[in-house]
Chain A
Amino acid sequence: MFELGKYTQILLPQQVKRLGCALIACLLINHPHLFTMENNGLGTKAIGMANAFTAVSDNCWAINYNPAGLTSVTAFQCSAFIVPDQFGLQELQTTALAAAMPLSFASIGIKVEKFGFDLYSETEFGIALAKKIDRNISAGLYFGYQRLDIARYGTAGSFSIDGGLIAHIIESVNVGFSVHNITDATLGRTGEKMPQVFDLGACWLPFHDFHISIEMEKDIRFPASIKMGIEQIVFSVIALRAGVANNPDKYSAGIAVRYLLFEFGYAGYSHPDLGWTHQIELSLKLDK
């Protein structure tokens, strides 16, 4: 019988690391979207709520979920976010920065994101514009540029556009819709299609300090996923979050603490096969 342990024992730790990196690189090269940044999400609030964030989208990470949500940002805010080691692998690291602020004609947001390691990396930067087109409805567009770098293979870049809507149905209910990669952008000379993802969700605020969000997500290539998240504010400065989702089954939790203009956030989610992933975030918010 093949005994893995027997062989791993004779390999030096550095060799194991190199082997792991090579395997991950092969996997990502062969399945360019298996570990896309979309799957993890950005921002501890969204991730803590299992990414059921399309109808919520009330901070600068709306740029990643539903650009229409940028209209709910009432003053400048920016945020730095890091996933040190997705599923315990340092090579699957994500770092991202986002900022948003309202202008006289529209709300604007920017995002920079990097995922991967030296052999394989994805970089994205983009800008979003959002505007209230009606008393109750906001619309937003995001223009992004993605670049894929694979060591010894080269690089490829692509532009894509995301769009979103948020409708304030009644005082306590929002409905949100977003579509990622409207233009069906492709990557590289092989014409590899970028993921097209469609989200439709609703958010209910039964109390001023509690809200619940439910969402359906359909990536054009995969089965639909249902996501649900809640957030409870306690003592006005602490936010507790939790969420569940399927396809794949996962659950998440998070916490955020606000102090003056700063907010520190943590979120973690569990994948049924790959284990826990932790992420942290530091934000500056000029609103009250």
Chain B
Amino acid sequence: MRAFLFILFSIAIASLASAQEQLISDTSDVWEDSYWEKILETAVQSDENSTIAEETTQLEDDPLNLNTASVEELHRIPAISNLIVSRIIDRRKRERFTSIDELLEIEGMTPELLSFIRRFVRIGRMKKGPSLSASFLSRTSTEIEERQGFINGAYPGTPIKILNRFHLSIGKNKSPLSSSVSELEVGVLTEKDPGERSITNFSTYFAGFSIPSISTHFIIGDYQMEAAEGLIFWSSSAFGKGSDVITPVRKNGGGIHPYLSSDENSFFRGISASIDLDKLQVQVMYSNKTLNATIDSLGNISSLYSSGLFRTESEQRKQNSSRETLIGCRAVTYLLDGLKIGGTCYRTRFVNPFMLIGNNGESASELWMEGMDLSFTSKNIDVFSECAIDRANALAVIAGITYEPAAMLALTITARDYPSAFQSIHGNAFGELSGQVQNESGVYVGIRTQPMKGLCISTYYDQFEHSQPTYLIPTPSHGNDFLALAEYNLTEQFEIAFRFKRKDSPSAIYENDLYTRIVQQTIPRVQHNYRLTGEFASSPSLRLSSRVEWVTVDYGGIQSAEQGMLMSQEIKWNLFYSLTAQARLAIFETDSYDSAIYEFEDEVPGAYSNPALYGRGMRWYCILRYQVFSKMYVAAKYAQTVKEGVKSIGTGNDEISGDSQSIVSIQLEVRF
């Protein structure tokens, strides 16, 4: 009992001690969630496994020094355009930043954007001696209802999902040359998915260190490479088309950085070196890593297995079933102020021949790729391009321009052409086919304007064509995508937004032909989404958010049109200095999965999900976050989806009997 009272007393004292700090940070949080949703909505997958959020959490753990971070590093901050990065560089050349609030002097930086990016940046401290920062995160989640696979024994492990992450960084004063790289950085992440046996079913780790005398930073272990516009190298997660119509188009990869996410595929394992000479940066990499893949009877890799789930015997056979050895290099030089030229290449070898997509069943044990990128950024214009050529001399190109003639107007035009024979297994460039740099050409136009105070109108139009069948459509196809978003700040506290989205892109259905064979047929499909959102930040500690969304899907009269709707209400409230509560309730009705409405939602801090809601039912969740000490917090989430008129949810081993699906998550994070 005494121990319990002592713990309670400690918590109370710690809460009071952290009260002031919490108050300061919370005042900037009121619009944070809407920004997250705006930029992450299209990038986050439907489940909770959102690596893009984990990557931004990494950035949060080790914020960038505004006065020393390189252009590429600054571009890793979500929602920051290249032009804003360029203006930050110009500003610090004239005068160093002494406060993060000075970012408001940058053209294009709004208070809302600043409140969102504040966590990713810092002002360098000039204290002497080594600095130490460490963080530990442990996240556990489990579904309340048992899936069929656990009942029939197909899933041998427990239904609990466990993620543990540790990150340590020891640094000294940073010179502008070595940028924000720590002197020594170590990270370890382990993950177990539901149904898997071992708590370390997936593990990733790295050690990074700098040697200032040779201006080189090494990473041993796991790392990621993001280069230029993503034709050759990019991670699995990337921002795509969405409510932010300008920024995601321009990627400007930040090069090699340590990997500490739960995506089990898109990283390299080996050693890398980043050499930072005055106007020349060179990065070399060597990777020798196992692959999760489906191996056919001839011993070829028929497809890469990316779900990360290794529960059943057939899934476990795909784990580490092949191996890839890669050597790569990238060099970037700044010839003139704002002019950047880069070159990237790699050569990779597979233990098993790799079945090439779109090459009529051809396989190859070796792939290579070479590419160049060129960009020029001045005060209000940003021109960028990248081209890459593969082993079969297929040439892929992306080029674009972003122009901000005034603070109230920004526009971008981007053209892309990725041949169907182009094989980029480590690329992930801007486009319609998520994750594939292949079989697509298109033109994207985005405009953002502020015609009057408080009103912001964003719109994009993207036209695309696939010259060969895709994995979804059995014939060559083309389509277009249009979005218009009007956001109006009725008052400083209340924002109302209306979003219209139209996507005209063919779909495929299965039909019986004359000989009763099942064949895939291409049919027209036009989807309209209408979304009305209201956000009310009554005070720095209390925010309400309401949403109504309708969807219609038309198949050109070939099959019945579908429709759906969703209504939701959310409240986020800092109940006490240390306790934040968040709850949302959504009710939905759609005709089928094809007219599903996606509902972006928060998980425990650092994770997000975007579940597809379809059928008829209700979804609600509640998140509690308690700051135990100033550097330690616990968070928990309970979420439930209840469907009306169904006897089970899911199919096969994933089937849940009953009409509800619930999940509970708990997270502990400590930062030193």
User: Are B544 and A167 touching (Cβ within 8 A)?
Assistant: yes
Smallest distance from the beta carbon of A205 to chain B beta carbons, Å?
15
Nearest opposing residue in chain B for A177, CB measure: B569
Does B117 touch A at the CB level, under 8 Å? no
Does B339 touch A at the CB level, under 8 Å? no
User: Are B565 and A224 touching (Cβ within 8 A)?
Assistant: yes
Known A-B contacts A167-B536, A220-B644, A224-B589; the reply to A200 vs B542 at CB < 8 A is no
Does A175 touch B at the CB level, under 8 Å? yes
Chain B residues within an 8 Å CB radius of A189: none
Known A-B contacts A137-B538, A137-B544, A196-B618; the reply to A223 vs B589 at CB < 8 A is yes
Chain A residues within an 8 Å CB radius of B644: 220-221
User: Are A170 and B585 touching (Cβ within 8 A)?
Assistant: no
Smallest distance from the beta carbon of A198 to chain B beta carbons, Å?
4
User: Are B587 and A169 touching (Cβ within 8 A)?
Assistant: no
Contact of A218 among B567, B571, B642 (CB under 8 A): B567
Known A-B contacts A133-B573, A224-B565; the reply to A170 vs B546 at CB < 8 A is no
User: Are A200 and B546 touching (Cβ within 8 A)?
Assistant: yes
CA distance in complex: A182, B587 (Å): 12
User: Are B618 and A175 touching (Cβ within 8 A)?
Assistant: no
User: Are B538 and A177 touching (Cβ within 8 A)?
Assistant: no
User: Are A220 and B617 touching (Cβ within 8 A)?
Assistant: yes
User: Are A221 and B616 touching (Cβ within 8 A)?
Assistant: yes
User: Are B569 and A165 touching (Cβ within 8 A)?
Assistant: yes
CA distance in complex: A179, B583 (Å): 13
Binary per-residue interface labels of chain A (177-218) against chain B in the complex, 1 for a CB within 8 Å, 0 otherwise: 101001010000000000010101000000000000000101
User: Are B642 and A184 touching (Cβ within 8 A)?
Assistant: yes
Contact of B538 among A134, A182, A200, A218 (CB under 8 A): A134
User: Are A198 and B587 touching (Cβ within 8 A)?
Assistant: yes
Interface size on A, residues (CB 8 A): 23
Does B490 touch A at the CB level, under 8 Å? yes
Chain B residues within an 8 Å CB radius of A200: 546, 548, 567, 569
Does B539 touch A at the CB level, under 8 Å? yes
Contact of A135 among B491, B538, B585 (CB under 8 A): B538
Chain A residues within an 8 Å CB radius of B506: none
Does A136 touch B at the CB level, under 8 Å? yes
User: Are B585 and A179 touching (Cβ within 8 A)?
Assistant: yes
CA distance in complex: A185, B650 (Å): 24
Known A-B contacts A177-B546, A179-B585, A223-B589; the reply to A135 vs B539 at CB < 8 A is yes
Interface size band for B: 20 to 34
User: Are B618 and A220 touching (Cβ within 8 A)?
Assistant: yes
- Interface hits, B194-227 → A, CB 8 Å: none
CA distance in complex: A170, B573 (Å): 20
Chain B residues within an 8 Å CB radius of A167: 536, 538, 544
Known A-B contacts A137-B538, A221-B616; the reply to A170 vs B490 at CB < 8 A is yes
Does B270 touch A at the CB level, under 8 Å? no
Chain B residues within an 8 Å CB radius of A134: 538-539, 542
CA distance in complex: A167, B535 (Å): 11
Binary per-residue interface labels of chain B (533-570) against chain A in the complex, 1 for a CB within 8 Å, 0 otherwise: 01010110010101010000000000000000101010
Binary per-residue interface labels of chain A (29-60) against chain B in the complex, 1 for a CB within 8 Å, 0 otherwise: 00000000000000000000000000000000
Binary per-residue interface labels of chain B (168-196) against chain A in the complex, 1 for a CB within 8 Å, 0 otherwise: 00000000000000000000000000000
Chain B residues within an 8 Å CB radius of A175: 534, 536, 544, 546
Does B494 touch A at the CB level, under 8 Å? yes
Contact of A198 among B490, B534, B585 (CB under 8 A): B585
Of the candidates A170, A182, A184, A220, the one having the most CB atoms from chain B within 10 angstroms of its own CB is: A220
User: Are A218 and B587 touching (Cβ within 8 A)?
Assistant: yes
11 additional contacts (CB under 8 A) given A165-B544, A169-B490, A170-B494: A136-B538, A137-B538, A137-B542, A167-B536, A167-B538, A169-B491, A175-B534, A175-B546, A184-B642, A216-B567, A220-B617
- 4 tightest CB-CB pairs across the interface, nearest first? A198-B587, A177-B569, A136-B538, A134-B538
24 contacts between A and B (CB under 8 A): A133-B542, A133-B573, A134-B542, A135-B539, A136-B493, A136-B536, A136-B538, A137-B536, A137-B538, A165-B571, A169-B534, A175-B546, A179-B569, A182-B585, A184-B618, A184-B642, A196-B587, A198-B618, A200-B567, A216-B567, A218-B587, A220-B644, A221-B616, A223-B589
B: residues with CB less than 8 A from A are 490-491, 493-494, 534, 536, 538-539, 542, 544, 546, 548, 565, 567, 569, 571, 573, 585, 587, 589, 616-618, 642, 644-645
